[in-house]
């Protein structure tokens, strides 16, 4: 019967880890007033007929706390890289110096900090939804096993385990959000 039922908690954990990894990537792209090469990760450049990540058309460096530089390898792409940065919504005004694009990172004003805090909250909510979807999948597997003859005690044990896993990941999301919002609001 279903005494053989074994919920693949490793799979659930892996999928929840994926949601956390995605959240960390999204948080890294949020500007906090300090220069970071990762803030350019979401920016795509129209290079050679396809959209290409900015770090594949040049070298991204952070020479000082309020400056990011991009040394574009192909001189023909400098204008496209500059355009991609301007249109990215990062709020940065690129300055050209030959094949080097300098991005001075301005101070964030209070209003912009609040907006970024809200965006971070949206990213965290997306991660929570992803984690809850993984939880639902696990619960569905348990219900199916219950219909196949699993005892009610086993069902409750498995459901408690899935809920405990979910709660731990939701707490990780909340902690990451709290840390990111504190970082954003730091002057």
* Domain range for 50: 34-104
End of a domain among 104, 136, 151? 104
Q: How many helices (H) and strands (E) does the chain have?
A: 4, 6
Task: Assess whether 100 and 148 both reside in one domain.
Answer: no
Task: Return the sign of the alpha-carbon dihedral for residues 121, 173, 10, 14.
Answer: positive
Structural domains counted in the chain? 2
Identify the burial level of 61 via C-beta atoms within 10 angstroms of its C-beta, where 0-12 means exposed, 13-18 middle and 19 or more buried.
Answer: middle
pLDDT at 148 over 60: yes
3-state secondary structure (DSSP) of residue 66? coil
Per the listing, tokens 């706390």 go with 65
End of a domain among 42, 76, 104? 104
Give the model's pLDDT for residue 3. Answer: 54
Kindly report the CATH number assigned to the domain that includes residue 79.
3.30.1360.40
End of a domain among 72, 104, 136? 104
DSSP single-letter state for residue 75? G
Mean pLDDT is lowest, of 16-20, 37-41, 75-79, 122-126, for 37-41
Kindly report the CATH number assigned to the domain that includes residue 164.
1.10.132.20
CB 60 within 8 A of CB 37: yes
List C-alpha distances in Å: 152 to 3, 9, 52, 149: 12, 19, 53, 9
- Tell me the per-residue pLDDT of 58-74, one tens digit each, with 9 for 90 and over: 999 988 888 899 999 98
Mean pLDDT on 2-22: 85
């Amino acid at each position: 019967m279903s005494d053989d039922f074994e919920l693949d908690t490793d799979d659930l954990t892996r999928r929840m880890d994926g949601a956390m990894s995605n959240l960390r990537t999204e948080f890294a792209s949020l500007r906090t007033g300090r220069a970071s090469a990762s803030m350019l990760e979401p920016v795509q450049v129209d290079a050679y007929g396809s959209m290409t990540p900015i770090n594949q058309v040049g070298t991204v460096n952070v020479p000082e706390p309020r400056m990011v530089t991009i040394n574009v390898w192909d001189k023909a792409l400098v204008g496209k890289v500059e355009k991609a940065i301007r249109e990215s919504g990062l709020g940065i005004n690129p300055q050209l110096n030959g094949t080097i694009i300098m991005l001075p990172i301005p101070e964030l004003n209070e209003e912009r900090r609040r907006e970024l805090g809200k965006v971070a909250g949206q990213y965290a909510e997306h991660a929570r939804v992803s984690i809850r979807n993984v939880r639902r999948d696990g619960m569905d597997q348990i219900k199916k096993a219950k219909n196949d003859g699993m005892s009610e005690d086993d069902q409750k044990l498995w459901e408690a385990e899935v809920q405990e896993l979910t709660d731990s990941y939701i707490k990780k999301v909340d902690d990451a959000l709290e840390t990111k919002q504190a970082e954003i609001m730091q002057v």
